[in-house]
Structure 1
Amino acid sequence: MLSTRSQKMVTGVVIVTLALFAGGYAVSTQHQPEPTADTRPTTITHETRSRQLHTPDPALLAPMPSDLAGVEPEIELTMDADGNLDTTPELRQMFDFYLSNVGDEPLDRVMERINALLSRQLDGPALAQAHDLLARYVDYRLALDSIGDSLAPVETANGFDLAALQSRYDTLNSLREKQFSEAESDAFFALEDVQDRYMLEKLKLEQNTVLSEQGHEQALAILEQSLPEPIRLARERATRDADLYVKTQSMSAEGKSAEEIYQARASVVGDEAATRLARLDDKQNQWKNRLSQYASERNDIRDAGLSPDDQKNAIKALRTRLFEGTERLRVKALDPEL
């Protein structure tokens, strides 16, 4: 039987589940627009690969979608002394940024945007290596999307299924070994792999019915100390901040004053941070009001009897009118929940 501590692990285990087959986007053909005269096939095949790997003329590319325009990551790609590509976490960040728009744009067009950016910063062997790595990364995401649903569910009536999570983790690593070199995997996935392994080990301890309460605590403390220091310190801050958040939310629900909430925060994080959090409260309240306005106007658009294309364009124009820059990406992600 899971202990009370296990209930606090839901967020942590979700990290594992998301990292294994539930990424922020899915480069899947089932989510692509229907092919028309203006949209080329989005399925990656050997036939389309040759088109996707060519270097397009940036002047011929369509304008960036309004949700992404002006918020592109500023990433400097580098080469070693022999002209080979330096594979970095930032390169994957760049791939993910543009691939997140698959669904609003055909995959071919997204690939063209990425390849144009690669060609502006790289040449020679490094450019060819970047093209190849991009193609393999997209294949990897496609593979995740195709096999994820075929695996056993990670939740049961009794909680998380450790065996199912371990199977997904093993499948994920096997797929990475097939698609990437060790150096590429380290650059792209090292951080999330550390977090995934940590959460799996933590879940094993939480489901261990042999250890005593004290044994659990000691084993968890040892596991925590095994994390790299930057991750461990970040987790400590996150735990502290999460506890403080729960406390202040409870105080707010009880009708405590802004000053009382400020003092509770200041006792934990100091006056300067408490002041910033108070300002953040104001911004969040304003944000919630704007989201409510957006949801109301969006629903009016949905009820207006527009064609699917006109409805999509009208909602996109609404986001452009009410929000700026990265706000549009946040609203786009939140839209199904509003």
Structure 2
Amino acid sequence: MKRTFLIAGSILILMAFGSVPYHLLTANTFPSLQDKERVEINLSTPKNYFDFSLSKLDEASLEQIRNTVKAQSKKTESIQIDEEMFEKYLQYKGALETLSPSSTINLDYMISLDNQIKGLQLQFFTNDEIELLFGEENLLRQFAINKIQISQQELSHDERLSLLNTLISNMPEHIQQAEKNNQLITHLEELSDLEGQNLHLRRQELVGSEGAARLADLDDQRQHFQSVLAGYFVERNEILKSQQFSNQDREAAIDYLRSQRFQKKDIRRVLALERIHDQNQ
């Protein structure tokens, strides 16, 4: 089974979400580049567990995944893992692939897509199962649609803002916080043309003194990384062009150079940047 059909539905859903999923960023918490990279997977709902299981299709067959879900359903009490529901979920994911994508993402298409997705959910699941599996997903999709509807109404700025605030206030607390975080990120990105003290003062207004200091540290670290990366590409190109190396020795020399210039946690990022760099040559 190709993995394509399993991710096609997710792509369609993300297209309808607009800015969702959200970046969960608070005014007093900014990631440090010195922190170890951590990936936390939320397995607190059946849908999250099903999606996590299907993400392993590159490593295991679908039958192996089915067996794992079946075994898990017998020993899990904290979430409702049900092998029958998993089979219906597989059929649903396959059906999502039949939905036609659009090159133009507008309000009419988003409403149509939302209706089609909900229609497919009703084909495979009971109302209780839909709420369990897709309750928040459907809510977020409707939230994105409502935001666009408000933005397109012929209203004054204050009237539009009032409607938007009312819409947000009716969302669960974590969605309200996520929306505030999105707005904060947008405001921070709008400061990209500022420099020096002006930039620091505007950041301070948005995120406070500690937040502004953390952002300044991130700026310094990004600039340092870009400087090291530029030098690395120069040295790497010299190795690639050298006729003194065999292909194997050339790879070994580049691996050594990469390990000397970058921290271990940055290697995957550097490899990705190398591919982009080489494609643009």
Name the counterpart of 2:120: 175
Given candidates 87, 92, 97, the residue that maps to 2:52 is: 97
Total equivalences in the alignment: 229
Match of residue 137 from structure 1:
89
Distance (whole Å) between structure 2 residues aligned to residue 191 and residue 181 of structure 1: 16
Task: Work out the CA distance in 2 between the residues paired with 1:99 and 1:284.
Answer: 35
What letter is aligned with 1:226? N
- Aligned position for 2:216: 278
Normalised by the length of structure 1, the TM-score is 0.51
Work out which of the residue numbers 17, 41, 58 in structure 1 matches 2:15: 17
Whether the 8 Å contact between 2:16 and 2:113 is mirrored in structure 1 is no
Gaps of 5+ in 1: 1-13, 24-69, 77-87, 302-313
Paired with 1:191 and 1:260, the residues of 2 have a C-alpha distance of 40
Deviation of the 1:324 alpha carbon: 6.8
Equivalent residue runs for 1:77-92 within 5 Å? 88-89=44-45, 91-92=46-47
Contact 1:166 1:200 in 2 (8 A): yes
Name the CA distance, whole Å, in 1 between partners of 2:70 and 2:223.
40
Map 1:121-160 → 2, pairs under 5 A: 121-123=72-74, 130-149=82-101, 153=102, 155=104, 160=105
Query: CA 1:207/1:261 → structure 2, altered by over 3 Å: closer, same or farther?
Result: closer
User: Alpha-carbon deviations, 1:152-182, whole Å to 9, x = none?
Assistant: x362xxxx53222111100001111222333
Mark the runs of 5 or more structure 2 residues left unpaired by the alignment. 1-11, 22-36, 241-250
Deviation at 1:236, TM superposition (A): 1.6
Q: 3-state DSSP class of the match of 2:121? A: helix
1:59-70 equivalences in 2 (<5 Å): none
Contact 2:147 2:164 in 1 (8 A): yes
Aligned partners of 2:271 and 2:94: how far apart in 1?
A: 25
Q: State whether residues 150 and 164 of structure 2, in contact with CA within 8 Å, keep that contact through their aligned partners in structure 1.
A: yes
SS in 2 for 1:147: coil
Aligned in 2, Cα 1:154/1:264: closer, same or farther, shift over 3 Å?
Answer: same
Does the C-alpha gap of structure 1 residues 330 and 148 become closer, same or farther in structure 2, counting only changes over 3 Å? farther
Residue 99 of structure 2 aligns to a residue whose secondary structure is helix
Instruction: Quote the sequence identity (%).
Output: 19
Structure 1 residues 269 and 73: CA distance shift in structure 2, 3 A: closer
Which whole-Å deviations, capped at 9, do the CAs of 1:216-262 have from their partners, x for residues lacking one? 34333322322223212321232023202221x212xxxx23x6534
One-letter amino acid of the structure 1 residue matched with residue 99 of structure 2: I
The answer to whether the Cα contact below 8 Å between 1:162 and 1:200 also exists between their aligned partners in 2 is yes
CA-CA distance at 1:205 after TM superposition: 2.6
The alpha-carbon distance between structure 1 residues 94 and 276, as it changes in their structure 2 partners (threshold 3 A), is: farther
Q: Distance in 1 between matches of 2:266 and 2:127?
A: 33
The one of 148, 167, 170 aligned to 1:226: 170
The residue correspondences of 1:29-40 to structure 2 (distance < 5 A) are none
* Structure-2 change in CA distance of 1:203 and 1:19 (3 Å): closer
- Give the CA deviation at 1:208: 2.9
